[in-house]
Amino acid sequence: MANERLTFVLTCTECKSKNYYYAKGKKKEYKVEANKFCKACGKKTLHKEAKASK
Ligand SMILES: [Zn+2]
């Protein structure tokens, strides 16, 4: 209850796969964008942060 943490997911912008889950507090509100390896695409693609439910 005390520590409310939100789960986020980095989603591939090409195939929409949800590849990287992580949790963090809600202090920082900037959106994360990163080039990450996507297993579905088989290459590095741009991933964008989205809120994940639980
Ligand atoms: Zn992909």
Q: Does residue 13 have a pLDDT over 70?
A: yes
CA of 34 to the centre of ligand 1 (A): 13
Residue bearing tokens 């088989």:
42
Domain segments of the chain as ranges: 6-52
CA of 43 to the centre of ligand 1 (A): 8
Task: Answer whether 0.85 is exceeded by the pTM.
Answer: no
CA of 31 to the centre of ligand 1 (A): 19
Alpha-carbon span 10 to 19, nearest angstrom? 6
Domain 6-52 sits in CATH at 2.20.28.120
Q: Tens digit of pLDDT for each residue in 22-48?
A: 887 766 666 789 999 999 999 999 999
